[in-house]
Structure 1
Amino acid sequence: MLDANTITSGAELTAAYSTVGIIAFAWYVLVAVALWKVFSKAGYPGILAIIPIVNVFILVKIAGYSAWLGLLYLIPIVGWIFGIVVAIRIGRGFGKGGAWSFFLLWLIAFVGYFILGFGKATYSKPS
């Protein structure tokens, strides 16, 4: 037998999922816009920023590594460490320091990629 509390809880849960989904989609669009500009500055087609897994491999290439190393992100602890290394190498490629790269390209990447993409930083492949 259906209870009114169960129906209300289900509706509230659906509304919560809808809200989270809308926020997640908006977040994804903003990150894709930032990455589009970063990819363009680095000489890659910006449209690749829209494709979810491809954008990670392009970031690895911008860091100066082979795209195959992007598979390291799948290994739990290694993925975090490799993410930090990639962030620092991308920052170095855009003329930023290690601390800047760690905080703004790894910890709060959303802000850092907007600064790189829409700022005056120019890209030179890190050695």
Structure 2
Amino acid sequence: MFDVDMLSTVFKNIDADAASFLLDIVNPDIAFIISRFENISVVTVMILFLLLGMWKTFEKAGKPGFIALIPLYNCYKLYQIAFGSGWFFLLGMIPLANIIVRVVFGAKLAEAFGKNEVFGAILSYFPFIFYMILGFGKSNCVIQRNKAEKEKDFDELST
């Protein structure tokens, strides 16, 4: 039979490091937020900002916004926008290497939207703010525009 008291005891005894590790597997951005802030209302607002910013960022990149809601797949698609190949996000799961990979990823993603590397480095550490800036700002996805221009040039050459 389901015992609510036992369940609450189990959740109280979860090690903070184990919980952080599990969250890091699901979505590193959300794990970062939760590991830094303990007030649940603040965390909820920050997660909503992150998801909304990612939604708009995906839309600017020409991808469906709902991808922001799918754990791990959203990371894969963001790395695909930044690096051209989404498999680089696997490097972000390697301990210690993930520190460097996240900063390089932030710089490449910022570059994809016409921002500088400093913006990208800060994006790596404060994603809940900087995805909102990417998503709702005036910048466009430069890589998508370049692909469209290349296709247009190819179409003109072929006719």
TM-score w.r.t. the length of structure 2 is: 0.62
Contact 2:105–2:120 (8 Å) recurs in 1: no
Counterpart residue number, 1:46: 65
CA distance in 2, matches of 1:108, 1:22: 18
Counterpart residue number, 1:119: 137
The one-letter amino acid of 2:115's match is K
Does residue 108 in structure 1 map to residue 126 in structure 2?
yes
1:1-127 equivalences under 5 Å are: 20-103=39-122, 105-125=123-143
The root-mean-square deviation of aligned C-alpha atoms, in Å, is 2.2
Identify unmatched segments of 5+ residues in structure 2: 1-8, 13-37, 147-159
Structure 1 residue 112: Cα displacement: 1.0
CA distance in 2, matches of 1:112, 1:26: 14
The one-letter amino acid of 2:48's match is V
Could you list the per-position Cα deviations for residues 27-47 of structure 1 after superposition, in whole angstroms to 9, with x for gaps in the alignment? 322211100000000111110
Identify unmatched segments of 5+ residues in structure 1: 1-9, 14-18
SS of residue matched to 1:125: helix
Identity over the aligned pairs, expressed in percent?
32
Structure 1 residue 93: Cα displacement: 1.1
User: What stretches of structure 1 move > 4 A for 4+ residues in a row?
Assistant: 19-23
Aligned length: 110
